[in-house]
Amino acid sequence: MSCCVPPPAFIEALAGPQRVGPAREEILLASRQVDAGMRQTDLSVPSIHCGACVQAIEKALGTMDGVENVRANLSTRRVAVRWREGGAPPPMFEALARLGYEANLHEDAEDGRDPALGALIRAMAVAAFASMNIMMLSGSVWSGADGPTRDVLHWICAGLTLPTLLYSGRIFYVSAWQALRHGRANMDVPITVGVMLAFALSVYDTLHSGAEVYYDATVSLLFFLLIGRTLDHVMRERARTAVKGLARLAPRGALVEHADGTREYLALREIEPGMTILLAAGERVPVDATVIGGSSDLDRSLVSGESAPVSIGPGARLEAGTLNLTGPLIVRAEAGERDSTLAELMRLVETAEGGRNRYRRLADRVAGYYAPVVHLAALATFLGWVAVNGDLHNATTIAIAVLIITCPCALGLAVPMVQVVAARRLFDAGIMVKDGSALERLAETDCVVFDKTGTLTTGEARLANTGDIAATDLMLAAGLAVHSRHPHSRAIAVAAGKARTATFTDMREVPGAGIEGRFDGARYRLGRAEWALDHNDTSAGTVLSRDGELLARFEISDTLRAGAKAAIDALAAQGLSVEIVSGDAAPNVEAVGERLGIADRAAGVLPGGKSARLAALAAAGRKPLMVGDGLNDAPALTAAHVSMAPGSAADVGRSAADFVFLHADLTAVPQAIAIARQAAWLVRQNLVLSLFYNAVALPVAVAGLVNPFLAAVAMSASSVVVVANALRLGWRAPGRDVNANPVAVEVSP
């Protein structure tokens, strides 16, 4: 399938009057100055996924007026556009939409570089350089160099090791120190102790022309561990950059009308209660506000989970983050940015996050037992050898050999390596994972709680009774509908497809009621029954009328997300129980539950109720996976054992969730669980492998039979085995691997 064909619904949306992308002022506000007279805008375009996409985007944007240069990044799915200051920002969003790419402004908080990753890679490069050279020099010692030659080689090794330990080892010392200060032991404590003692002993032996030094083991230990650390970091970063900034819920600012009638676009934080804000149709409400002029329909689905828009007029209260659909509004700000509904929900999420941190990662749990055992073993060895022959130097050497050979080198790679490979597999399937602990938690999950609007369903309305409506009526309705951004109108326009020919005159949209126009001398109305029909009819739903006479009724229903049924069946096959907890009205929830065969369902649940439900499940010893998208789901996503959100979710929801799936297909959920379970199995294998290695090596070391050569070989070999085992997860072609998962794994973009 060609990847660069825009989806039909998207073209449809373009044909309508909807503005594509954020307001110019918002683009300007989000851009940053790079050089004199030059600004850069970073766009997140999640659907870039081949070289042709990169070419098409760079060509289309690069030829626009005012654009200096464009660089599309395929790895991070971002586009950096530099444009000349002075005029308005170039219409990048429109150009991208014409190509079929949906773009979003990227967060401007950081400049796309990750200092922590840079530091890790530099540390790793230095360790790699030092360990290779030391290995080379050690090779000649092992093959028989002795006397002054050996001493010179040892001194060169010492000279290479010291800066490496200082530069590359810092990461471990800092982490170990922090753990010790909080009275805990993590993997870095035995590493730090082992590395420092080994180096001290080696320097002592070098000074006294000793035969056995451990420079090679120390440095290659750091090198292997840094590989694990870097992979761990890369995985988290990759997910973070791909997920961040897909869509912002709150605009960056709003058009404010001052008392003297002047208008100014102010950043969100500068908006104060009492200010008058002009809100165009299609904009999100920036702060909590009250309507003082105009009427419109309000899409509250991200905030409350209700799928049907609400009509509003003067006096109505608006929550920040809701979407103004049909008419321009004049509103008065009731709260600043910090006191708005959005900020309130963010605080709820932060509170719930405290609970999440209680989960300890498997590697840390293992380290908790591992560190004391290793240290006690080394101490016992030392005391034992002192008791046996009273030779302090010999006892110290052997005790340090114990520390070095048991240093958790393979253990440090065992978990991150598997998780990186698993994250790569998930990434290929369009699923982002936030960190390794999320993978561990997902593998443990035993029940799945779904939100309805936007998760099981797409949140987009669809015409349900296309077959019952005469073609001419549908054509007429579509002719009107294409001029409105109300979701019901969009559904009718999409259902009619390209067949519409009716061209209306005297078009006018009545916010909260519908849209009317003239055609062939008759007045047509599309909208609420009570407004469109002359006789008193208060039935719900959308109707089309000619001069007040009923022509057709349109039944609008929520569309099920692609693969929803298959996903639910696959989850059941994986032995998970499934339930719906929705904020929407009962009939809508019942209908969706019936179609998907989900018996457990709760409707009309408030955000607090959702997290209470998850807390109840957790109290019953279950480990629930929450899948949700809305702002109202965010506390529940955080309260759950593990959580997933679709890429279309509110940014709060996305940042609260552990996993984000970018493709529309819901089969991503069972697929992610299958991969996580496989990864958990491999992690356990790896832990057993590396502990087995330690179990074999420990008695040998305690007996005093380890020499530096043996230590270096054993350590490297165990690491390689663990890495190779982790890579097995990547070998199997996607599609056959996912055990007991009947769902086709191919995910269409």
Partner 1 sequence: MSEFFYLIPISLVLGAAGLVVFLWTLRDGQYDDLDGAAERILYEEDAPRPDRPSR
Q: CB-based contacts of 427: which residues, under 8 Å, 6+ apart? A: 238, 239, 242
- At position 497, the amino acid (one-letter code) is G
Map tokens 């993590």 to a residue.
186
Residue type, position 182, single letter = H
Kindly tell me which residue out of 55, 178, 290, 472 binds partner 1, with binding defined by CB under 8 A: 55
For partner 1, how many residues bind (rule: CB under 8 A)?
38
Q: Does 211 bind partner 1 (CB under 8 A)?
A: no
Does 54 contact partner 1 by CB under 8 A?
Answer: yes
* AA identity, residue 615: A
- 107-126 binders of partner 1 (CB under 8 A): 111-113, 118, 121-122, 125-126
Sheet holding 505-510, edge to edge: 505-510, 514-519, 522-528, 542-546, 549-554
Q: Which amino acid is it at 528?
A: R
Nearer to partner 1, 155 or 177 (CB): 155
C-beta of 58 vs 334, nearer to partner 1: 58
Residue 599: what are its φ and ψ, rounded to 5°?
Answer: -85, -40
Q: Which of 6, 11, 28, 82 binds partner 1 (CB under 8 A)?
A: 82
- Tell me, yes or no, if 451 is annotated catalytic: yes
- Least distance (Å) between residue 126 CB and partner 1: 7
Residue 577 near partner 1 by CB under 8 A: no
Beta carbon nearer to partner 1, 244 or 601? 244
**Interaction residues for partner 1, span 21-40 (CB under 8 A):** 34, 40
What tokens appear for 643 in the block? 């959580």
Q: CB burial class (10 A; 0-12, 13-18, 19+) of residue 661?
A: buried
137 binds partner 1 (CB under 8 A): yes
Nearer to partner 1, 2 or 505 (CB): 2
Collapsing DSSP states into helix, strand and coil, what is residue 614?
helix
Please identify, among the stretches 46-54, 291-299, 329-337, 596-604, the one whose residues bind partner 1 according to the rule CB under 8 A: 46-54
Task: Give the 3-state DSSP-derived string for 616-666, with helices as H, strands as E and coil as C.
Answer: HHHHCCCCEEEECCCHHHHHHHHHCCEEEEECCCCHHHHHHCCEEECCCCC
What letter does residue 249 receive in the DSSP assignment? S
Cα 596 from Cα 570, distance rounded (Å): 12
Task: Report the alpha-carbon distance of residue 279 to residue 29 in Å, rounded.
Answer: 17
Which among 451, 629, 633, 651 is annotated as catalytic? Answer: 451
Instruction: Give least dist CB 87 to partner 1, A.
Output: 20
Q: Which residues contact 395 (CB under 8 A, 6 or more apart)?
A: 381, 382, 383, 384, 385, 386
Examine residue 133 and tell whether it contacts partner 1 (CB under 8 A).
yes
What is the nearest approach in angstroms of partner 1 to the Cβ of residue 75? 5
Q: Is 132 in the site for partner 1 (CB under 8 A)?
A: yes
Which CB, 233 or 441, lies closer to partner 1? 233
Output the smallest distance, CB 561 to partner 1, in A. 28
Which position among 18, 73, 311, 394 is part of the footprint of partner 1 (CB under 8 A)? 73
- The amino acid at 492: I
Q: Please identify which residue in 24, 71, 184, 424 interacts with partner 1, judged by CB under 8 A.
A: 71
Question: Which is nearer to partner 1, 42 or 584 (by Cβ)?
Answer: 42
Contact between 69 and partner 1 per CB under 8 A: yes
CA dist 705 and 91 (Å) reads 72
Residues 152-191 that bind partner 1 (CB under 8 A): 152, 156, 160
CB-based contacts of 337, cutoff 8 Å, min separation 6:
250, 268, 269, 271, 286, 287, 343
| Residue indicated by tokens 């709820």 | 348
| Interface with partner 1, residue 76, by CB under 8 A | yes
Contact pick of 51, 163, 293, 608 for partner 1 (by CB under 8 A): 51
Helix segments in 277-405, DSSP class H: 301-304, 341-356, 362-389, 392-405
Nearer to partner 1, 52 or 740 (CB): 52
Catalytic machinery residues: 451
Residues that bind partner 1 (CB under 8 A): 34, 40, 42, 50-51, 54-55, 58, 68-76, 80, 82, 111-113, 118, 121-122, 125-126, 129, 132-133, 136-137, 145, 148-149, 152, 156, 160
